[in-house]
Structures are given as structure tokens and as C-alpha cells.
Structure 1
Amino acid sequence: MDRSGPVAQLRAAVVAFADAHLEDGGPWCVGLSGGADSLAMTAVAAPLRPTTALIVDHGLQAGSADIAEWARAQAIALGCVDAQVLRVDVGTVGGPEAAARTARHAALQSARDGAPVLLAHTLDDQAETVLLGLGRGSGARSLAGMRAYDAPWCRPLLGVRREATAAACAELGLTPWQDPHNIDPRFTRVRLRTEVLPLLEEVLGGGVAEALARTAAALREDTEALDAAAAEIGPHEGPLPLADLHGLSAAVRRRVIRSWLLSGGACDLSDSQIRSVDVLVTAWRGQGGVAVPSKLPRQRLFAARRDGALVLYRQPVI
């Protein structure tokens, strides 16, 4: 192995991540699709610790079962102690990309058997995530991108460019699977990857992906600091007294509201929805409840202001 080549670069990234975040020597899992990113990560992870490859078959393409079995065989050949194919049913909530991600994470969570799961997101994926959040006006939390470590999810390659994983596969003589969805312009992330980011690199003179990743890291630090300040206000179950929100900065107050909404059964909150609930505190003129997404099927969830507090109530979807 070239000690300065792409395989060495990936191995160093995985080792540094493990030293910083994980207990010594314990087993781990890798999420393996068969693409260059996850295949290269599996190749460097398997010699380091007992590794189980988890291959999710979304069933969205013809021949997906054959591709999953091929990835399983690749994992065993690379030294994984086990490799499992997880077949899932992908729903429709949130669109095809979000629904596939939800199904995938649920399958990985069920199969990991308490072990951390390495995911092969790269710096390029982080840059795309930041651009998506920016375009959707999703607020600082979305612009902060993906966490490198958000137990049990581990992303040791967030500082590595996608070209390095492809080069590592070439160095190892591996032929990754080329997912046709990764070049399908129907998907927003594909157009960001193939059209928007290259244009930004050209217009701004290069270094855009790295700059977006640095932006995510800086916003992540700020977000975590503000979250910690909000957590000191204390958890709230049931009504949220307005008196507990008085005197808080806008950023901390909205984080308290977000935490309260999530604890009351909300999910997938956008920045605009949180701000709409915040208006019930800062500019209330007798307006009614604000609808927010609910975890419960066929239930609509609302936040409203009553008797000096924010309250939640539900209505059935007819």
C-alpha cells in the first residue's frame, strides 16, 4: 500500500475518527451500498476491527437484489466478519430521497446490534447538504450539515473528497457499483452535484466544497452552543409557560420552543414552522394555532397560546 496514497488517506481518517469517538477495539458496522465511497470505507475499516457490513436493498431498481448480494460477497472478500442484506419497503413521506433515507436508517438501526455504524458520507456530501439547506431556507441547524459523530452514526470521511474514495478503489483493484440514481437529474442532490457545484467552482475559482464544509463546521459549533444554552432552561412537558421564555435571546427561545414541540410529538420541524410558533410568543394578537408535523399517523398537531402558556392539541385527519 502506498503510504501517501488514497487508501492510506482513508485509513488515517477512519483511525483518527475511532481514536476520537469510539471505544478501543470494539466491533462496528459499515453501511455498504457497493458504491465507491462505502466500498473504499469498508476496505479500510475491515482490517481495523471486527466489521459487519449492512447492505440495504431498497428494492427501487430492477436487479437490486443481485446488486445487494454482490455487495455482500465483496464485503466478505474484504475481510468483514459478517455481511447482511436488509430488504426494506420505501414509503412516500417527504419524497423519494427522504423516504429511502428513513427506511435505510430504520433498517440499520434494527440490525446494528448495539454497534456503531460507519456511514461513508464525504466532504462533497456535506457540501451538497449545506447547499440544500441554504436553498430551502432551513435555518442554521440545516446549514450546519451532518455531524461527524451522532451516535450510533459515524461519518469518518466527512473531511475526505469523493475523488479520494474512487482513487482508493482503483488502488485496491475494486470495481464499485455505479448507481444510476446518482446521475438521474430527477433528484435534487444529483443536480447539485453535477450542475450547481461545478458552476460555483468555476465562478468562484475553486475551493467551494471545502468552504461549504467549513461553514457547516462553524455553524455546528454555534448551534451546539445555543442548544446547550436552551437545555439549561430545562425540559418542558405539557404547557410551556410564557414566563419561562421571557428575557431569552431569540435564538435560544426558538430552541426551547423546538425542544418542547419535539417532546410533545412533533417531528421534521422546519425553521419557518418554529418561527411561526415563536410569533405566538412575540407578536400574539389573538391568532389561532399553528400546524406542525406530527409523529402520529392521521393526526394533525397544533401549537397555540392559552392562559399564559403555549399548548399543543391534536385533531384527527378525516
Structure 2
Amino acid sequence: MAELRSAVRPGLRDTREPVLAACSGGADSLALAAALAFEARDAGVRVGGVTVDHGLQAGSAERADRTAALLRGLGLDPVLVVAAHVGADGGPEGAARAARYVALARAAREHGARIALGHTLDDQAETVLLGLGRGSGPRSVAGMVRIRQADGVCWWRPLLTVRRATARAACTDQGLPVWDDPWNADPAYTRARLRAEVLPLLEHVLGGGVAPALARTAELLRDDLDALDELAAAHLALLTSTDGPAVEEVAGLPTALRRRVLRGWLRAGGVPDLQAVHLVAVDALLVRWRGQGRVDLPGGAGVVRTSGRLVLHRPEDRAAPPPHSEEPSA
């Protein structure tokens, strides 16, 4: 209990912004809610709770109501039950997660609050392994961040240094009834198998300490990535034209920095959902120039190289005849 309370205390005292604790009724989020409720008294910060009904399991509405009653019993106010409208994209796990974040973000905006999430050090380790296995780049391997601002909402994860077992023990010590979601133990889901099979095997083979080591690796990597992002932002601000970067301005930068500049330029131009394959193709217009044509990007946009400069064609530009691409040098 002391470890949980120590984890949330600095974040409550750093800002007066109200908090909504996202709580499923599981051990991690319930322990978080209890710690926030206790510390809120001294911090003078209003702490409420929000539970999401995904509507995917029998009795989900009743369970959400029980969780809400439990949060009220802890002294949280207001306590909300919000419905999530789960689609089909991204598989069951991804679709439920996306719908949950939409519902939580809506509640945060309506109440002018930040959202506290109960992700633990063990969740961080699982996230790092998932990023490694999918080869989705260093930012995914860097895991979750303690505070993230997105779409006008502050997402706060104060328990990233706390073990899952500690959160469960805190619930036991306080007599809090924990609900264990059967999906979390279903081997049909990748994260459940990582939790039940892969991490225990790694702990056995490597002699323990794997989860803290993965979390520590993520933290170190985040520091490096943040530094690169800052350098890229500085280079992006120095570009001489808003039409697109000149080849001589960016082609000579180290690869990691150059591609970050390109990503920043494209995102500023409204290109959504950029993947590594898109950046590699746009980067080739700079450093592996052979006269190749337009690089197609998500959302209908595209990039061409013309007159020594990269030019972004937005979807609405398709009706206009494209400029002639630059001829490759001999």
C-alpha cells in the first residue's frame, strides 16, 4: 500500500488538474484507484473514477455498475460508467483497446480531467516484448511513457515502476474485491501468452529480473529517442521553405535524424498513419535517387522530388497535373 501511494503522490502534487482513475475492477487499476483516493485528501486534488463497459461479455453492464459502486465507496467523485462502441478493426484486442481509449478521452474532456491508468512494470515489459517481436521500431520498444499528451487529453501512468504482484497485494491488504478478466488469461490473445508463457520462461532461462531489465531498457531507449526527436525538431524549424525540404538541407544528416525530419514534415502536412516503409521510400528520394516517381502515402497523399526539393501532394491536389519530376544526375 505504501509503495502504491508513493507512486501516485508526486503526480498528484505536481498539478492541480483533476484526475479520473480508469478502473476495470482488476487488481492493478483498483489498487491505483485506492491509492489515489487516499493521497487526494492531502494533495487537495479532486479524484474521480471511470469504468468502461465494452459490452463484449455477458453481464458486463452489471459488472461495470459494481465497479462504480466500489469506486464510490473509496471516496472517488465523480464516478462514471461509460460505454465503448467496439468495432472490428485491429482484432478483438486492438478494437477493444481503441474503443476504450475513445470512451476515456471523451470522459476526460467532458470533466476537464486527466486519465490515470493502472499499467505496471510488468505491463511495460510485455509491451517491450511485443514491440521487439513485431519489429515496429525503437519507439514501440521504448514502451509506455509516464505522462503523454494526445488530442487534448493527459494520460498518466504512475505505476510503471510498480510490480503487478505489489498491486494485487495492496488490494488484498485493503480487502478490495478484485475481478480477474478471463480475457487476460485466454491463450488466444498474444499478450496473455506473453504473460503466462514467455516471460516466465525468460525468467527461468535468464535467472530472473527480466521484467525490470526490459522496463529499464525501455527507459534508456526513450532518453535517446527523445534527444533525437529534439534535434529533428530543431532541424525541421530551420528548413528554408514551407513547400518542402531542399535536398541539400537534409540529405547529409544521419539516417535516424533525417528520417525524423521527414516524419515531422509529413505529419505537419497532414499525412496520417505513417509507417516505416513509407519513410524509407521517401528517404530514398533523397539519398538513393534514381529518377523514381511519386511515393504514395496513407490518406491519398504522395511525395515527389522536383527541382532539388521534395514536394508533398495532398489528396486534394490530385486533380491538378503533377509537376515534372527531377531527372536523376548521371
SS of corresponding position for 2:38: coil
Change (3 A) 1:238 1:174: farther
Which moves more between the two structures, 285-294 or 133-142? 285-294
Q: Tell me if the contact between 1:29 and 1:117 (Cα under 8 Å) persists in the aligned partners.
A: yes
Q: Tell me if the contact between 2:185 and 2:192 (Cα under 8 Å) persists in the aligned partners.
A: yes
Determine the structure 2 residue equivalent to 1:288.
Answer: 293
Q: Give the superposition deviation at 1:238.
A: 4.9
CA distance in 2, matches of 1:288, 1:187: 41
Determine the structure 2 residue equivalent to 1:82.
Answer: 78
Q: Give the superposition deviation at 1:181.
A: 0.9
CA distance in 2, matches of 1:133, 1:242: 32
Change (3 A) 1:203 1:89: same
Aligned pair count reads 302
Q: Which runs of 5+ in 2 are unaligned?
A: 41-45, 317-330
Determine the structure 2 residue equivalent to 1:200.
Answer: 202
Determine the structure 2 residue equivalent to 1:32.
Answer: 23
CA deviations over 1:146-170 (Å, ceiling 9, x no partner): 1111130111000001111111110
Q: Give the superposition deviation at 1:97.
A: 2.1
CA distance in 1, matches of 2:131, 2:275: 10
2:41 is aligned with 1:47? no
Determine the structure 1 residue equivalent to 2:137.
Answer: 139
CA distance in 2, matches of 1:90, 1:124: 26
Q: Give the superposition deviation at 1:184.
A: 1.3
* Counterpart among 58, 67, 71 of residue 54 in structure 2: 58
Change (3 A) 1:188 1:270: farther
Determine the structure 1 residue equivalent to 2:261.
Answer: 256
Q: Tell me if the contact between 1:184 and 1:190 (Cα under 8 Å) persists in the aligned partners.
A: yes
Q: What is the one-letter code of the residue matched to 2:84?
A: V
Q: How does 1:236-315 map to 2 (within 5 A)?
A: 238-294=243-299, 300-307=300-307, 308-314=309-315
Q: How does 1:15-26 map to 2 (within 5 A)?
A: 15-19=9-13, 22-23=14-15, 25-26=16-17
SS of corresponding position for 1:47: helix
Q: Which structure carries more helix by proportion?
A: 2
Change (3 A) 1:78 1:180: same
Which moves more between the two structures, 160-169 or 254-263? 254-263
CA distance in 1, matches of 2:160, 2:267: 28
- The share of aligned pairs that are identical, in percent, is 50
SS of corresponding position for 2:39: coil
CA distance in 2, matches of 1:289, 1:55: 47
Q: Give the superposition deviation at 1:26.
A: 4.0
CA deviations over 1:57-112 (Å, ceiling 9, x no partner): 11121211111111111110111011111102112233332222222222211111
Q: What is the one-letter code of the residue matched to 1:31?
A: A
SS of corresponding position for 2:81: strand
Change (3 A) 1:37 1:227: same
Q: What is the one-letter code of the residue matched to 1:10?
A: L
Q: What is the one-letter code of the residue matched to 2:143?
A: G
Q: Tell me if the contact between 1:242 and 1:310 (Cα under 8 Å) persists in the aligned partners.
A: no
CA deviations over 1:108-157 (Å, ceiling 9, x no partner): 11111222211101001111111111111111111111111113011100
Change (3 A) 1:280 1:62: farther
TM-score normalised to structure 2 length: 0.85
Q: What is the one-letter code of the residue matched to 2:32?
A: M
Change (3 A) 1:260 1:98: farther
Which moves more between the two structures, 219-228 or 108-117? 108-117
Determine the structure 1 residue equivalent to 2:324.
Answer: none
SS of corresponding position for 2:140: helix
Change (3 A) 1:304 1:228: same
* Counterpart among 123, 128, 131 of residue 130 in structure 1: 128
SS of corresponding position for 2:76: coil
